[in-house]
């Protein structure tokens, strides 16, 4: 659980530590504000340092305190965002410090070492109750793994070697049953969770293009503001018009973009934090900005759109044979089939009341062979049971002058049209029925892909399957288009063609054959259930293995962009309003009194009120920066423009209302 009190306490301490000028100099706006604070502290001690003055020590002290709060609020906004992100990541990281693990040596012996001593390509043995310390790949054994601490999914996951969907394991998960031999695939500190922690902590972080543009804007406007105030001071000194140095400081602080400068890091960290809450590991922060502009998404089928393992969904009897006869034959012919398909046939058979009884029999098992494409069993009573591909079983039965029912081909074709895989079952050279295998589509995809379609983003499924199967899956999943019988190199070519047109392309996959396309795409989203190669080639990994989550990633990216641009607009338009309000108090010309829209009479209260609002805007907008601007309708074409207008107008109007209220309070306090 995240302790909010501890986070607030830690953030307050961190914000005080950030007063260090060596740290502050990296943020030009805060550095200038801190320099102004130092000048005001000196003037508080010695008000006449720059000549005679009408300002008292008390007024200078109030201005100093307001500047101090401005810096403190800016630091606090960044510290809160950073500490919340760290707390969330730390809650995901289960392995704290070194734990003892069993490393398997070349001679087969086991030595006990600590996690910190493990190297990439080491082999470890994990048994029931053990934590998996680092990301790896299963090379031997079969076990169930609890991934709930990482994915939030309570159902245990079966892990075994040599399968795309279940051979990779993530550090921090726990073995529930049996044992596994795991080959370590990550260097120390380079696991998926480590990379997420490093980004959250800002280790070795590079600014995104959007941040670079915003920083350039902030620095440029700050330099221009500094130059403008310097020129005004020079002109007024030349004209021998005395203006208090405190007033010039107030004008400079009102001009420079302190609001967005204080919130920029909070917006960035909070955006990344929202990705973590989605259970998505982002290997770089730039992916968020890219995702917000996606035009086209290619998706793998097996293991991505579908669960990846074909599952037995129904038995169909032929001729005079009953469903029970077919279920029993399917069970016995699949008893020694350890593939996911074979296990699903056994599970379906048990629904028909078929019980284990083969162990007591003398049988001859026939394992699946890729050449004959069938498997089965010879019973001690002389029965011969086989199951396999429809053409292989038919060929065998015909060669032995067996019986094939007239509607066999019709039923086979019917299953194929539905996108399923028909397996024929034969008993003593008679085809008695079929098994309907189906690659099950992941839940809720159709509704989510429809939402994606409405945003104008095209989805295309690329699969090695035949045209008929691809067409059925595409329709069921609600995907726009499909490309059948696609090879890995075809996917890369398609992505490159679209990128050459200036489109932002995404790729979602889970297999080793998807890795090149995932690496080529602007956004590569890998399923956590996929292979190590796929995950290493991607810049996003979905721990829940849900391809429809891409729309949540897009929303998060758009939310980050809209929040940043809207608050930037608010910051600059509020600066315009603050300058309009403060100029009549600083420049003693009648022509400037036309700007005194609020009809304020006290120059001192006017300046204090503007500075006070400048400081208060940061904590006032902090919830918006941390939570992001809510996006209700992702299909709205003018979503960014709408928010820019709202926040732009808000930045112009809010200061006039707020400062009028603050002036009333300040004047009462001064009196």
Give 270-282 as a DSSP string: HHHHHHHHTTEEE
Is 300 a residue of the active site? yes
Look at residue 98 and give its three-state secondary structure. coil
- To 5 degrees, how large is the angle CA 406–CA 410–CA 413? 145
Residue with tokens 């695939």: 185
CA 196 vs CA 200, 285, 382, 539, 556: distances in Å:
6, 10, 60, 11, 17
* Residue 446 contacts residue 478 (beta carbons within 8 Å): yes
Helix, strand, coil % over all residues of the chain, rounded to 5: 55, 15, 30
CA distance 582 to 515: 59
What is the rounded distance in angstroms from the CA atom of residue 575 to the CA atom of residue 586? 16
Q: How many CA atoms within 13 Å lie on the side-chain side of 16? A: 5
Taking the chain, what is the end-to-end CA distance rounded to the nearest angstrom?
49
**Residue 466 CA: distances (Å) to CA of 292, 421, 472, 487:** 33, 12, 10, 12
SS3 category, 27: coil
> What is the rounded CA–CA span in Å between residue 598 and residue 578?
12
The structure tokens listed for 16 are 């005080």
Of residues 280, 281, 132, the one with CA closest to residue 195: 281
Q: How far is CA 360 from CA 208, 356, 379, in A?
A: 66, 9, 11
Looking at 164, 194, 273, 300, which residue is catalytic?
300
CA distance 504 to 522: 6
SS3 of 181, please? strand
Residue 39, exposed/middle/buried by CB under 10 A (0-12, 13-18, 19+)?
buried
Locate 255 and state its tokens.
């001009």
DSSP-assigned letter for residue 657: H
Residue 451, H or E segment: helix 445-454
What is the 3 state secondary structure string of 516-570? HHHHHCCEEEEECCCCHHHHHHCCEEECCCCHHHHHHHHHHHHHHHHHHHHHHHH
Q: Can you tell me whether residue 414 is helix, strand or coil?
A: helix
How far, CA to CA in Å, does 471 sit from each of 38, 75, 417, 508?
70, 55, 9, 19
Token output for 468: 């008929």
Contacts for 453-458: CB closer than 8 Å, 24+ residues apart: 453/478, 453/480, 454/634, 454/635, 455/551, 455/554, 455/634, 455/635, 456/295, 456/635, 457/294, 457/295, 457/296, 457/297, 457/554, 458/295, 458/296, 458/297
What is the phi/psi pair of residue 571, to 5°?
A: -60, -45
Catalytic amino acids? 300
């Amino acid at each position: 659980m995240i302790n909010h009190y501890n986070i607030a306490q830690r953030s307050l301490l961190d914000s005080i530590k950030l007063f260090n000028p060596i740290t502050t100099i990296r943020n030009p706006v805060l550095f200038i504000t801190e320099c102004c604070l130092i000048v005001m502290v000196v003037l508080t001690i010695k008000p006449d340092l720059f000549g005679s003055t009408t300002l008292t020590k008390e007024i200078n002290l109030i201005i100093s305190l307001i500047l101090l709060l401005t810096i403190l609020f800016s630091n606090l906004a960044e510290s809160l965002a950073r500490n919340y992100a760290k707390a969330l990541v730390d809650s995901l990281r289960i392995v704290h410090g070194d734990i003892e693990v069993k490393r398997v040596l070349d001679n087969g012996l086991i030595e006990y070492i600590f996690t910190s001593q493990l190297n990439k390509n080491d082999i470890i043995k994990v048994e029931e109750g053990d934590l998996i310390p680092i990301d790896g790949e299963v090379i031997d054994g079969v076990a169930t793994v609890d991934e709930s601490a990482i994915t939030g999914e309570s159902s245990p996951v079966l892990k075994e070697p040599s399968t795309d969907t279940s051979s990779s394991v993530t550090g921090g998960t726990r073995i529930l049953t049996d044992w596994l031999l795991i080959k370590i695939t990550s260097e120390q500190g380079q696991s998926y969770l480590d990379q997420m922690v490093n980004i959250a902590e800002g280790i070795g972080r590079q600014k995104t293009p959007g941040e670079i543009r915003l920083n350039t804007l902030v620095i440029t406007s700050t330099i221009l503001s500094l130059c403008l105030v310097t020129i005004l001071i020079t002109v007024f000194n030349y004209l021998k018009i005395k203006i208090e140095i405190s007033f010039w400081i107030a004008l400079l602080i009102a001009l420079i973009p302190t609001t967005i400068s204080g919130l920029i890091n909070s917006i960035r960290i909070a955006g990344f934090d929202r990705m973590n809450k989605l259970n998505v590991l982002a290997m770089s922060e730039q992916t968020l900005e890219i995702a917000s502009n996606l035009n086209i998404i290619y998706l793998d089928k097996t293991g991505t759109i579908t669960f990846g393992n074909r599952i037995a969904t129904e038995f169909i009897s032929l001729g005079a044979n009953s469903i029970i006869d077919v279920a029993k034959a399917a069970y016995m012919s699949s008893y020694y089939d350890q593939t996911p398909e074979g296990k699903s046939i056994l599970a379906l058979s048990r629904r028909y009341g078929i019980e284990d009884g083969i162990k007591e029999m003398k049988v001859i098992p026939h394992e699946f062979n890729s050449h004959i494409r069938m498997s089965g069993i010879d019973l001690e009573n002389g029965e011969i049971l086989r199951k396999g591909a429809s053409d292989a079983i038919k060929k065998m039965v015909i060669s032995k002058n067996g019986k094939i029912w007239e509607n066999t081909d019709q039923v086979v074709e019917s299953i194929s049209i539905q996108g399923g895989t028909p397996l024929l079952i034969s008993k003593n050279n008679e085809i008695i029925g079929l098994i309907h295998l189906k690659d099950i589509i992941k839940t809720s995809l159709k509704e989510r892909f429809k939402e994606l379609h409405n945003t104008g983003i095209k989805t295309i499924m690329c699969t090695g399957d035949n045209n008929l199967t691809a067409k059925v899956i595409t329709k069921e999943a609600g995907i726009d288009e499909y490309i059948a019988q696609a090879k890995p190199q075809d996917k890369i070519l398609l992505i490159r063609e679209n990128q050459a047109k200036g489109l932002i392309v995404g790729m979602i996959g889970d297999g080793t054959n998807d890795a090149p396309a995932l690496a080529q795409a602007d956004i590569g989203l890998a399923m956590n259930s996929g292979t190590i190669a796929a995950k290493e080639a991607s810049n996003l990994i979905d721990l829940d293995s849900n391809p429809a989550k891409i729309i949540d990633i897009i929303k998060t990216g758009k939310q980050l962009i809209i929040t940043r641009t809207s608050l930037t607009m608010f910051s600059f338009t509020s600066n315009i309003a603050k300058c309009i309000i403060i100029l009549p108090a600083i420049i003693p010309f009648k022509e400037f009194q036309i700007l005194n829209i609020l009809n304020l009479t006290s120059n001192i209260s006017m300046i204090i009120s503007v500075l006070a609002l400048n400081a208060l805007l940061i904590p006032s907008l902090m919830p918006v920066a941390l939570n992001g601007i809510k996006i209700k309708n992702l299909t709205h074409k003018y979503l960014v423009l709408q928010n820019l207008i709202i926040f732009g107008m808000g930045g112009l109007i809010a200061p006039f209302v707020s400062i009028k209220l603050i002036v009333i309070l300040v004047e009462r306090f001064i009196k």
